[in-house]
Structure 1
């Protein structure tokens, strides 16, 4: 095994002589084998090896014993040791995130701190070839963008040095065999056998089936990952050149403008990546959690829209406006934001409106009494997601029995709605931007027939409107 790992390190230039290497060690077989491997090459490479172990405090005394086990092994192997405890449960409640993400964030915070403390060159992690295969297959089932499929990188920049993964050339079985050969008796985490976690499900149920067809799956997937990573690096470089040549940016206020013809003259692969580079610039790399592939689809649909003036709303008050052959990204200024809003409606769930009202969305099997504050439809009757927003200039809607469409402005006039209330009146739209409900005034769709078992109902709870 050592020869295979060393060849992998040399091929990818993962290690330099005389370096300081932190090894992330949990006490499990992967990280213990990795630590032992670095112990075995320490003299040859003149390395300073430091083990870093993090207790997530998720398994009480058991996880504390994991830390003590790693510390004891380091004493026996004459390796420097750093142990830290982190409060995962407290952090996940504070940040409203899942256990695994909270643990990862805190663990990497510790790694970054120790990298700077020791001025380390590398942080070695024990991810192996089976981890890579699991990651690639998992992403294949839920990612729609090829740039997200490149898997776990062999090497990447981190905290003034590099994260390296020398074991990506190995299988889990090879690592377990190495532990037996070297008399390593690792600690085992019982949560790794639970299929409640998505990764465990793929490892236990999916990977064995794939390996029946290809016993060298880990090598095939690693080669694919490296190829995709190299391709993505090239495409990102070309996309940056495209943005430099096509896109005009302003800093104060932050704004992006480009010619649609010039943008669309480039390859679609570059257009997609340029779109993401633009968003990274506008959001300062802090992309909103509710930014999704739906927004990307809306962006490209906007460029192809035949109308001269159209606009869509992105999270955090970012507006994307088509003005004939120009596309403009800009943030609404504070004076414009006092009455304007745009939110996606979760189903089931609720959206709080600026005036203190709310929209409550539910699934229901009964058609209860309907009035101007409720809207009900079949799931296949609308295109999701649904949104609630304030009106836009030129907004129109249609409904059963109406020939053509009617301006929202004229509906307000007919209903004698005061001018000061019109700009904050809630408008419900589908994914195409079509208005399906002008709350309290007009509904696009009639009440469906009562021959279905499940409906979607929106209920408007009035605020100070």
Structure 2
């Protein structure tokens, strides 16, 4: 087994010479084999090893006995030892979560603290090939999301370095043979034999049947996991780019929105991932009752022909479709930060906005010099009445000297307008929907050009609020 594990380490570039490696050790066969293996290559690879073991306070005195056992073995093998007793039951109660999730969170928090304290490069864990098979099969049974099938990663960033799993290329039987040949007598957790736990059920009932059909299934599944992981990494990178380009968020509160046409222009594989990125951004912790059903509801909402419609998600999250936009916000959250509006501007007339801003329109026989917050046009060039509204998906405008038209989004980007301001920016249009003025930014050109002396003058005054 030593040669195959060493080859696996080299292939995946898991450890560098001279590194500091923390080894998570429970006292069971897998972690004891890993600790012994790393100890056997310690001098050759010039490794600084530190064993770290945790009592989760879940099995009374037995878990403390496991901790004492690991400490004793580390003394025998001359390996520095760090032990801790974590109050998982209290943490579970405080956070209102399951036992296994609570134990994992506390364990990894402690691992991260020790990584930083010891300035470690790696945290080595004893997951093996059979664990990988179990994880992939469980993902198939429990999830409708393809990203869940990337399995246990061989290596991933963590704290000051990386988590590594050198044993993912070997089986449980190989590990058992390894510890037996070296007279290592590990501690056995009796709950590993209780099939009431989901993973134990797969371990005892399902995986042996798969091995009957393919004794090398751990290698097959590991290769599948690696290729899926590479594909998923690429898709996530592309989805992250899409998220940054099309999704507008509010940094002060949980809120997100996007223009539906821009979202639907993305590939369907990226749409799903951008959707999940939005949920991860909004929720502090994803609700347990959030499932693929909500994903289906989301895409059905996008396809709906209705202009205004809402759906409810878990934990008071609402999705609201407002014509060309889709907004995500929490029910208790005030929505005044991104209101849409559509107002008719009579001539002469005036519109007052909640922020104190004012738009006025008057007829004039004299053309005055224009400035940033005024707009003049010939009254016969446009279709009355005028309207002031927020932008809509696909809005474009044209002006003198421009070949074709330009998206409002691109005008905002060029002007470096913050995303939080774009949704409420006032847009002046005529009755045919022609954008005449992106107020304060760009003056458009009417479709027709006539010469007379009857003008309409529109002025904008910014509010003090």
Q: Note whether the superposition's TM-score is higher than 0.5.
A: yes
Match of 1:262 in 2: 262
Structure of greater Rg: 2
Match of 1:82 in 2: 82
Aligned-residue offset at 1:182: 1.4
* SS across alignment from 2:70: helix
* Range with bigger deviation, 316-325 or 107-116: 316-325
Aligned-residue offset at 1:336: 7.4
Match of 2:206 in 1: 206
Aligned-residue offset at 1:161: 1.4
Match of 1:311 in 2: 310
Aligned-residue offset at 1:86: 1.6
Match of 2:319 in 1: 320
For residues 315 and 191 of structure 2, what CA distance do their matches in structure 1 show? 38
Aligned-residue offset at 1:131: 0.5
Aligned pairs (5 A) from 1:266-281:
266-281=266-281
Match of 1:18 in 2: 18
* 1:94-131 C-alpha deviation (Å, 9 max, x unpaired): 22222222222222222122111111111100000000
Match of 1:165 in 2: 165
For residues 93 and 245 of structure 1, what CA distance do their matches in structure 2 show? 41
Shift of the 233–336 alpha-carbon distance from structure 1 to 2, 3 Å rule, reads: closer
Aligned-residue offset at 1:89: 2.3
Match of 2:107 in 1: 107
The answer on 1:49 being equivalent to 2:49 is: yes
Q: TM-score, normalised by structure 2?
A: 0.69
For residues 333 and 141 of structure 2, what CA distance do their matches in structure 1 show? 41
For residues 105 and 206 of structure 2, what CA distance do their matches in structure 1 show? 27
Aligned-residue offset at 1:322: 1.2
* SS across alignment from 1:223: helix
Aligned-residue offset at 1:92: 2.1
Aligned pairs (5 A) from 1:447-462:
none
* Range with bigger deviation, 249-258 or 53-62: 249-258
* 1:341-362 C-alpha deviation (Å, 9 max, x unpaired): xxxxxxxxxxxxxxxxxxxxxx
Match of 1:92 in 2: 92
For residues 213 and 241 of structure 1, what CA distance do their matches in structure 2 show? 42
> How many residue pairs are counted as aligned between the two chains?
336
Give the unaligned 5+ runs of structure 2: 337-465
For residues 29 and 213 of structure 1, what CA distance do their matches in structure 2 show? 26
* SS across alignment from 2:266: coil
Aligned-residue offset at 1:55: 1.3
Aligned-residue offset at 1:222: 0.4
Match of 1:193 in 2: 193
For residues 12 and 251 of structure 1, what CA distance do their matches in structure 2 show? 39
Shift of the 328–102 alpha-carbon distance from structure 1 to 2, 3 Å rule, reads: closer
Shift of the 248–220 alpha-carbon distance from structure 1 to 2, 3 Å rule, reads: same
Match of 1:300 in 2: 299
* 1:376-434 C-alpha deviation (Å, 9 max, x unpaired): xxxxxxxxxxxxxxxxxxxxxxxxxxxxxxxxxxxxxxxxxxxxxxxxxxxxxxxxxxx
For residues 198 and 332 of structure 2, what CA distance do their matches in structure 1 show? 42
* 1:171-196 C-alpha deviation (Å, 9 max, x unpaired): 00000111112121111111111111
For residues 105 and 280 of structure 2, what CA distance do their matches in structure 1 show? 21
For residues 336 and 250 of structure 1, what CA distance do their matches in structure 2 show? 11
Match of 2:463 in 1: none
* SS across alignment from 1:22: strand
For residues 91 and 258 of structure 2, what CA distance do their matches in structure 1 show? 42
For residues 6 and 122 of structure 1, what CA distance do their matches in structure 2 show? 16
Give the unaligned 5+ runs of structure 1: 338-465
For residues 334 and 169 of structure 1, what CA distance do their matches in structure 2 show? 49
For residues 99 and 111 of structure 1, what CA distance do their matches in structure 2 show? 18
Match of 1:222 in 2: 222
For residues 88 and 274 of structure 1, what CA distance do their matches in structure 2 show? 34
For residues 99 and 312 of structure 1, what CA distance do their matches in structure 2 show? 33
Match of 2:127 in 1: 127
CA RMSD of aligned residues (A): 1.8
Q: TM-score, normalised by structure 1?
A: 0.69
Shift of the 273–30 alpha-carbon distance from structure 1 to 2, 3 Å rule, reads: same
Match of 1:249 in 2: 249
